[in-house]
């Protein structure tokens, strides 16, 4: 699974970071959340966001590698 945060929707409430600190963290520049790991991602992780900024998608192995490289 691949976690994504739409930063045009995220309001930085921190609910995802509190609920899943292994998967989400704040972007130091914008103060908004971003996915830092797809480890143990489940579809219901999107439900924690009150504004619907989180999506959880099936990912190909290649896409997962890119995401992990970007998060490093």
Residue ranges in contact with ligand SF4 by CB under 6 A = 5, 10-16, 33, 48-49, 51, 53-54
Query: What are 60's two structure tokens?
Result: 């190909």
Q: Report in angstroms how near the CB of residue 29 gets to ligand SF4 at its nearest.
A: 15
Distances, alpha carbon 13 to alpha carbons 19, 38, 48, 49, in Å: 12, 20, 11, 9
Q: Report in angstroms how near the CB of residue 19 gets to ligand SF4 at its nearest.
A: 8
Residue bearing tokens 């970007």: 70
Q: Report in angstroms how near the CB of residue 65 gets to ligand SF4 at its nearest.
A: 23
Comparing CB distances to ligand SF4, the nearer of 15 and 59 is 15
The rounded distance, in Å, linking the Cα atoms of 5 and 16 is 10
């Amino acid at each position: 699974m691949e976690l994504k945060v739409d930063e045009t929707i995220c309001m930085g409430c921190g609910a995802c970071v509190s609920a899943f600190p292994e998967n989400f963290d704040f972007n130091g520049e914008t103060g908004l959340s971003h996915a830092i790991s797809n480890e143990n991602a489940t579809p219901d992780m999107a439900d924690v966001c009150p504004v619907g900024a989180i999506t959880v998608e099936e990912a190909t192995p290649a896409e997962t590698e890119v995401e992990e490289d970007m998060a490093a």
